[in-house]
Amino acid sequence: MGKSYLKMLMAILPVIAETGLCCAAIINADGQTVYAVGQEGRELFNLEAGMYQLGQTAIQKGGPVSLTDERGTVWAVPIGEYVLVCDKKADAFNDNKLQAVLRKALPMIAQVAGGEAVIFNKQGERVLCYNLSGSEELQYKGKVSKKALEAMKTQQPVLGRSYSVNGATAVRIPLTEHIGLGFNNENVTTRQHRLYEKIKIPQQAKYTFGDIIGSSQVLAKTKSIAHFVATGNSSILISGETGTGKELFAQSIHSASERSKQPFVAMNCGALPATLIESNLFGYEEGAFTGAKRGGNSGAFEQANGGTIFLDEISEMEIGSQTRLLRVLQEKEVVRVGGVNVKKIDVRIIASTNKDLTKLIAEGKFRQDLYYRLNVVEIKIPPLRERQEDIDLLARHFVKRYNESFGKNVDHIDPKALKILKTYYWPGNVRELQNCVEHSMNMIRFQDAVLLGNHLPTYLSKRSKAEKDTETEFLVPVDELNLTEAVRKTEKTVLQNALKKAKYKRTVAAKLLGISTVTLWRKLAEHDLLEKEELAAK
């Protein structure tokens, strides 16, 4: 909320300063000036000490404060994580002239504030209002707002609920004894409500294990383990690189469980702002925070009751939210944000991560006790480069899918195109392969039936000089070695060569190899290269 309010306030601050004949400033919680403008609309870099002091008082009080003397009135009102402070001089100002200026400015205020902008009179009655599109709003014209009336009577700004938009916050500012200015954050609130509504809709899993394409031994083993544990109720942690199909496995587990007829609710912990994670997970009560809907809202746990909740990218969750999540897992109950009532829940947890949680635990970024609660059963999804025999099947599967959606009739993939697909490293895994096939299907003419190499994205067939050099260096004699040992020695040599070329910078070496830095670290440990690499780097 703080950033959205800051952007809005910075945009309308010059208008407040000009129309109110005042110095207007935004101060943060530490008492530092974020932005300030004078009556002429020019940015200011020095404020009077009284403005700072009043801003601090408003922060401590948690509400609007004002101070009036013979020079005029200084008022401060907390808005989100910031404080709006204005020093209104006692100079006389013609109300008619002010109202004329406001009439011109109001549409602009509405647009930059992202909500309604209103002029109200001494009685708190709406005289003129514009919506966020910049056009005049007639629906509530002539209506009296109690908060606007309070602002005019006290001659202090008032922060409260919007009259016209459910859940939005409005600011009412008395510019003179007869004219006031109001605006709200309708646009921000509407977007927030859409996020809530999107996650509020109960979902059903649409995929099963039959939708997981591939015949490789490593994939078959992973599917077998997942299918076996699907019938239980224990928490499952699915780990794997981005694009390997972690949600596909999560849905398949739910579909094969006794909870298959109950809701499957997926929540991406990395997609929502941190401020919205808890309210989406646990729900919230009316008035719990600015923008909270009347009547409150149920969270993902309540929506998934009786079924399964899938917490994607669990590694992105903040420590504070992890603590609340741990309590839910332990107690099997949830309390909404801003509420006190305890709700019992029966939910199976499936979480996923593309990061090494043990490393995050060591860095203090992930709770160890939560890790053990989630990691009752761990399922590791193999990357596509470890199941190359599945590339052919997957490519044909995606060709068939895009035949239907693009109205084409491709029935064959040229062997040269398949060779390109099979020799590529696929750092983006199955998702990247799908995108490449989609690109290729767009390049094929409607009358053609074969996917050729020149239809593929050009980057697939372009191999860097570094890759070619590495390719000539990592060959090892295998005359007296078995295959497992040969592969191990080859991998160790590749790692050493990549580190040497990257000047022992792990992020660069990982990029050369097409793997994550976590995977590189793990492989260095497996080959006893960590200490040697650190010594070489010195």
Question: What confidence score (pLDDT) does residue 294 get?
Answer: 64
Sign of the torsion angle spanned by Cα atoms 49, 50, 55, 60: positive
Query: Which range, of 24-28, 38-42, 224-228, 280-284, averages the lowest pLDDT?
Result: 38-42
Which residue has better confidence, 227 or 88?
Answer: 227
Question: What is the percent of the chain with per-residue pLDDT over 70, rounded to a whole number?
Answer: 79
Shared domain for 208 and 347, answered yes or no, is: yes
Query: Which range, of 94-103, 122-131, 381-390, 423-432, averages the lowest pLDDT?
Result: 94-103
Question: What confidence score (pLDDT) does residue 202 get?
Answer: 46
Question: Cα–Cα distance between 21 and 33 in angstroms, integer?
Answer: 20
How many domains does the chain fold into?
4
Instruction: Decide: 298 and 280 in contact? Cβ < 8 Å.
Output: no
| pLDDT at residue 416 is higher than 70 | yes
Supply 149's token pair: 């009336």
Domain that holds residue 403: 386-460
Alpha-helical (H) ranges within 201-353 are 217-229, 246-255, 274-282, 300-303, 319-331
Q: What is the CATH number of the domain that holds 445?
A: 1.10.8.60
Shared domain for 277 and 146, answered yes or no, is: no
Question: What confidence score (pLDDT) does residue 240 get?
Answer: 93
Question: Cα–Cα distance between 105 and 108 in angstroms, integer?
Answer: 5
**Would 148 be classed as within a structural domain?**
yes
Residue 47 banded pLDDT, cuts 50, 70, 90: confident
What SS3 state is found at 90? coil
- Summarize pLDDT for 480-532 with one digit per residue, the tens: 445 556 677 778 888 888 888 888 888 888 878 877 776 787 778 777 786 65
Most confident range (mean pLDDT) of 38-47, 404-413, 464-473 is 404-413
Question: What confidence score (pLDDT) does residue 480 get?
Answer: 45
Average pLDDT over residues 142-156: 86
| pLDDT at residue 197 is higher than 60 | no
- Summarize pLDDT for 302-351 with one digit per residue, the tens: 889 999 999 999 998 888 888 888 988 988 998 887 777 888 999 999 99
> For all residues of the chain together, what is the average pLDDT?
80
Question: What confidence score (pLDDT) does residue 475 get?
Answer: 45
Which residue has better confidence, 20 or 445?
Answer: 445
Final residue of a domain: which of 460, 480, 496? 460
Instruction: Decide: 454 and 414 in contact? Cβ < 8 Å.
Output: no
Q: What is the CATH number of the domain that holds 328?
A: 3.40.50.300
Other beta carbons less than 10 A from residue 458's beta carbon:
7
| pLDDT at residue 467 is higher than 90 | no
200's CB contacts (< 8 A; 6+ apart) are 297, 298, 303
407's CB contacts (< 8 A; 6+ apart) are 446
CA atoms within 13 A on the CB side of 90: 7
Most confident range (mean pLDDT) of 140-144, 238-242, 319-323 is 238-242
Instruction: Decide: 337 and 284 in contact? Cβ < 8 Å.
Output: yes
Residue 23 banded pLDDT, cuts 50, 70, 90: confident
> Look-up: residue for tokens 């947890």?
349
Residue 284 banded pLDDT, cuts 50, 70, 90: confident
Query: Which range, of 13-17, 72-76, 141-145, 309-313, averages the lowest pLDDT?
Result: 13-17
Supply 270's token pair: 């990395």
Instruction: Decide: 27 and 82 in contact? Cβ < 8 Å.
Output: yes
Overall pTM > 0.85:
no
| pLDDT at residue 395 is higher than 50 | yes
**Would 404 be classed as within a structural domain?**
yes
Question: What confidence score (pLDDT) does residue 170 get?
Answer: 79
Identify which of 326, 201, 312 has the alpha carbon closest to the alpha carbon of residue 249. Answer: 312
Query: Which range, of 29-33, 204-208, 222-226, 446-450, averages the lowest pLDDT?
Result: 29-33
Final residue of a domain: which of 416, 442, 460? 460
Which residue has better confidence, 364 or 72?
Answer: 364
Q: Which residues pair with 238 in a beta bridge?
A: 352, 379
Question: What confidence score (pLDDT) does residue 275 get?
Answer: 63
Which residue has better confidence, 206 or 394?
Answer: 394
Shared domain for 296 and 366, answered yes or no, is: yes
Residue 396 banded pLDDT, cuts 50, 70, 90: very high
Instruction: Decide: 229 and 377 in contact? Cβ < 8 Å.
Output: yes
Question: What confidence score (pLDDT) does residue 19 get?
Answer: 60
Strands lying side by side in the sheet with 22-28: 33-37, 22-28, 82-89, 72-79, 65-69
Final residue of a domain: which of 434, 460, 486? 460
> Look-up: residue for tokens 């409607």?
446
**Would 194 be classed as within a structural domain?**
no
Shared domain for 176 and 268, answered yes or no, is: no
Average pLDDT over residues 450-463: 85
Which residue has better confidence, 9 or 201?
Answer: 9
Supply 515's token pair: 């793997």
User: What one-character DSSP code corresponds to residue 139?
Assistant: T
**Would 195 be classed as within a structural domain?**
no
Most confident range (mean pLDDT) of 46-50, 116-120, 397-401, 500-504 is 397-401
Residue 465 banded pLDDT, cuts 50, 70, 90: very low
Identify which of 212, 152, 221 has the alpha carbon closest to the alpha carbon of residue 182. Answer: 152
Average pLDDT over residues 213-233: 94
Question: Can you state the angle between helices 506-513 and 465-473, rounded to 10 degrees?
Answer: 90
Long-range contacts of 204-209 (CB under 8 A, 24+ apart): 204/263, 204/264, 205/250, 205/251, 205/252, 205/254, 205/255, 205/260, 205/264, 205/308, 206/251, 207/248, 207/251, 207/252, 207/255, 208/251, 208/252, 208/255, 208/256, 209/252, 209/255, 209/256
Other beta carbons less than 10 A from residue 286's beta carbon:
14
Question: Cα–Cα distance between 449 and 44 in angstroms, integer?
Answer: 68
The backbone torsions φ and ψ at residue 334, rounded to the nearest 5 degrees and listed phi first, read: -135, 145
Residue 471 banded pLDDT, cuts 50, 70, 90: very low
Burial class (CB in 10 A: 0-12, 13-18, 19+), 385: middle
**Would 95 be classed as within a structural domain?**
yes
> Look-up: residue for tokens 């700072």?
52
Shared domain for 92 and 234, answered yes or no, is: no
Q: What is the CATH number of the domain that holds 493?
A: 1.10.10
**Would 40 be classed as within a structural domain?**
yes
Shared domain for 182 and 273, answered yes or no, is: no
**Would 196 be classed as within a structural domain?**
no
**Would 367 be classed as within a structural domain?**
yes
Other beta carbons less than 10 A from residue 287's beta carbon:
12
Shared domain for 341 and 471, answered yes or no, is: no
Shared domain for 210 and 332, answered yes or no, is: yes
Residue 372 banded pLDDT, cuts 50, 70, 90: very high
Residue 93 banded pLDDT, cuts 50, 70, 90: very low
Residue 29 banded pLDDT, cuts 50, 70, 90: confident
| pLDDT at residue 199 is higher than 60 | no
299's CB contacts (< 8 A; 6+ apart) are 279, 280, 281, 282, 283, 284, 334, 336
Shared domain for 489 and 415, answered yes or no, is: no
Shared domain for 348 and 396, answered yes or no, is: no
Rounded to 5°, the CA angle 128-133-134 comes to 40
| pLDDT at residue 126 is higher than 90 | no
Shared domain for 369 and 412, answered yes or no, is: no
Residue 96 banded pLDDT, cuts 50, 70, 90: low
Shared domain for 211 and 358, answered yes or no, is: yes
Question: Cα–Cα distance between 249 and 238 in angstroms, integer?
Answer: 8
